[in-house]
Amino acid sequence: REKRLTLPPSEITLL
């Protein structure tokens, strides 16, 4: 879980 928290949030793309 810790690893997930340190990962950056993702960008959002509209398709």
Partner 1 sequence: SSPAPVPTPNVVRVVKNANTLGIAIEGGANTRQPLPRIVTIQKGGSAHNCGQLKVGQIILEVNGISLRGREHKDAAKIIAEAFKTKEKDHIDFLVVDPG
- The nearest distance, CB 2 to partner 1, in angstroms, is 12
- The nearest distance, CB 14 to partner 1, in angstroms, is 5
User: Which residues of the chain form contacts with partner 1 (CB under 8 A)?
Assistant: 4-5, 7-15
Q: Which amino acid is at 14?
A: L
Phi then psi for residue 2, to 5 deg, are -60, -40
Structure tokens at 10: 């993702």
- The nearest distance, CB 5 to partner 1, in angstroms, is 8
Token pair 């949030």: residue = 9
